[in-house]
Structure 1
Amino acid sequence: MVSSYASPSAGLPGQMDLHTGRATFTEAYALIPRGVMRDIVTSCLPHWRDTRLWVIARPMSGFAETFSQYIVEVSPGGGSERPEDNPGAEGVLFVVSGQMTVTIEGKTHLLEAGGYAFLPPGCAWSLVNKSTETVRFHWVRKRYEAVEGIATPAAFVSSDNDQPIRWMPDTNERWGTTRFVEPDDVRHDMHVNIVTLEPGAVIPFEETHVMEHGLYVLEGKAVYRLNRDWVEVEAGDFMWLRAFCPQACYAGPERFRYLLYKDVNRHAKLPF
C-alpha cells in the first residue's frame, strides 16, 4: 500500500486571507490545524544543520506530560551527527516526504515516505539528507521508563508499506491499526502506530483511557469527538489529548489515517 502523507503548508498566508482558523486549546485537548504550521512558528535545534522543525507537542504539567513530537524538515545536505542530547530519551522517526539516510549503531538505512525507525535510549544514531529534495519526518520522543528485569528494546527500522493493517474484529475491515510493535511486548513503554478508517467507518464509542495521545492526520478528513466537542479535522491537522479525554470518530468520504502516539505498559506514577 503506497500512501501520500500530509505535511505542513509552511510559507505564510496572504494578508487578505480571512481569520477563520480552527486552532483550539482546552483543558482536555488541543487542535493545531495545518493552516497554522507556518514559517513563523518553526524552530531550530543544537547540532542540526540546514534543519527546522515545528514543535507540535511538548510535556506540560497538568496537560499531556509524557512526550514531545516534532515535524522536522531537513534540506539537502542537512542533518546531524549528534541528533539527541538526552541519553534517557527513546524516539520514533516517521518519514512523510522525501528520503533520508539514518545510521543506527553503525548500520545505514535509507528511509523514504512511510519509513519508520525506533531508537532506544542511549542509541548511537545520525541522520543526513543525501538527496536533492527536502525531507520531512515526525520525531516522537519519550523518556524511557526502565524496569528491573525487563530488557530495553533494540533499535529497528520498518515501513508503513511493509506492515499489514490489523483490522478490529467485526468491522468488515473498515477500522484497523498498522502496528510496528506488538501490544504485549512490555519492553516498549510507548506505541507509535497508524490508525486507518475506511470511508464512512466509525470508532463507535467514546474511548476514555489513561493513555495520552498525539494524533497527526496523514490522509483524509473526519469528524472527531474530543471531550465534549465534535471537531472536523483534515490531513495535516494535529490533535493532542491529555489522559482520559473522551474520543470517537466518524470518517469522511475518503480513507482517513493518522499517526498515533500513546504511552503504555507501565505502572501509573505515584506521588510517594
Structure 2
Amino acid sequence: MSPYARPQDGLPPQTDLHTGRAIFTDAYAVIPRGVMRDIVTSYLPGWTGTRAWIIARPLSGFAETFAHYIVEVAPNGGWGGGSDRPEPDAQAQGVLFVTHGAPVLTLPDGAHPLTPGSYAYIPPGVAWSLSNPRDLPATFHWVRKRYEPAPGIAAPEAFVTRDQAIAPISMPGTNDAWATTRFVSPDDLRHDMHVNVVTFQPGGVIPFEETHVMEHGLYVLEGKAVYKLNRDWVEVEAGDYMWLRAFCPQACYAAGPGPFRYLLYKDVNRHPRLGPVVGG
C-alpha cells in the first residue's frame, strides 16, 4: 500500500456543494485534489494506454521554467501503456517520482524496475522509455525543464534512487521538525533544478516568510498543513498542488496528526536571463 497521494477517479456527485478551495492569483495557484478528476486529463503523443494531469506549465508572467505532470499508465493486463519515445524536446531534462504501481524505466544502462518512492533524473538528450508490465496501474510525477548549459560545466548523468534510501537532512535549529530529502547536492552546479521531498513533523514550521527568485511546484504527498501564500493562509492536504511564481512569500505550519510531506520543484544555480540584446 503506497503512502503517497494520487488523483481520484470519477466526478463528485451532483448533490455536492460547488464551493471548494481552488484558487488562482497573480502570485500563486492552489489546485485541490478534488478538482484533479478524469475530466481534466490529457492523452499525450507518443504514449499508449496513458493519461496525464498537467498541473503546471510555463506561463508568461507567472512561473515560466517548468512543467509538472501526474501520469497514470494502464496495466499490461488491460489496455497496456507506456512509451518508447516519451520526451519530445531534445533540450528537456526530467525527473520521475513514482507514487503507485511498478513501472519499468529503461535507460541506456538497462532496465530499472520502479516502486513507490522511486526517483529518476534524466538529462537532456538521453534516450529512455517507460512501460507498465504489471496488472495494476502505475502513477508517477514527471517534472520537465529545459536544461540551461553553463560554460565549463558538464551536463549531469542519469541516475535512479529511492525516497526511502536517502536520509532527510534536518534544517538547522529545528530538531528534525523540518527536513529535506535531497536527491542532488545543492552545490552540484551541473544541476539547474532540484526536485526534493520536504517533511514537516507535527508542529513543524517555516518560521519566516520565504521570498525568493525560485519558482516552485509543491505536490502534497502526505498529511495536511496550513500554508502562507502571499497574503493568505491556505489549508492544504494530501493530493493538493501549490504553484508559486518567483518572489511569492511563503511559510508553513504543520498541525498534524502525522507528518506533512510534499514533492518540491525549484529552479537553481543559474544566472537570471537579462532579456534580448538591444542595439549593437
Verify: 1:265 aligned to 2:264, yes or no. no
Shift of 1:170: 1.0
Question: TM-score, normalization: structure 2?
Answer: 0.95
Aligned equivalents of 1:10 and 1:208: distance in 2? 36
- The answer to whether structure 1 residue 136 and structure 2 residue 135 are counterparts is no
| Counterpart Cα distance in 2 of 1:247 and 1:145 | 26
Q: Where does residue 66 of structure 2 map in the other structure? A: 67
Aligned-partner Cα distance in 1 for 2:109–2:164: 25
- The residue identity in structure 2 corresponding to 1:38 is R
Q: Does 1:255 align with 2:259?
A: yes
* Distance of 1:41 and 1:19 partners within structure 2: 17
Name the CA distance, whole Å, in 1 between partners of 2:90 and 2:106: 17
For residue 107 of structure 2, what is the aligned residue in structure 1?
Answer: 104
Residue equivalent to 1:8: 7
**Contact 2:223 2:238 survives alignment (8 Å):** yes
Cα distance, 1:20 vs. partner?
Answer: 2.0
* Cα distance in 1 for residues equivalent to 2:12 and 2:107: 39
- 2:188 maps to 185
Q: What is the Cα-based RMSD across aligned positions, in Å?
A: 0.9
**What secondary structure sits across from 2:34 in the alignment?**
helix
| Structure with the largest fraction of strand | 1
Pairing 1:199–2:202 present: yes
1:148 maps to what in 2? 151
Alpha-carbon shift at residue 37 of structure 1 (Å) = 0.3
Task: Tell me if the contact between 1:120 and 1:154 (Cα under 8 Å) persists in the aligned partners.
Answer: yes
Deviation track 1:105-130 (CA, whole Å, cap 9, x = no partner) reads 14110110000000000011000001
Q: Which amino acid aligns with 1:255?
A: P
Q: Give, in angstroms, the shift of residue 47 of structure 1.
A: 1.0
Contact 2:103/2:130, CA 8 A, preserved across alignment = yes
Question: Displacement of 1:3 after TM fit?
Answer: 6.3
Q: Who is 1:210 aligned against?
A: 213
Question: What residue ranges of structure 2 are gaps of 5+ in the alignment?
Answer: none
**Aligned-pair CA distance for 1:10:** 2.5
Q: Are 1:220 and 1:252, in contact at CA under 8 Å, matched by a contact in 2?
A: no
Q: Partners of 1:246 and 1:223 in 2: how far apart?
A: 14
The unaligned stretches of length 5 or more in structure 1 are none
Q: How does 1:151-190 map to 2 (within 5 A)?
A: 151-190=154-193
Deviations 1:224-269 (CA, angstroms, capped at 9, x unpaired): 0000000000000000000000000000212000000000000000
Q: Distance in 1 between matches of 2:2 and 2:137?
A: 18
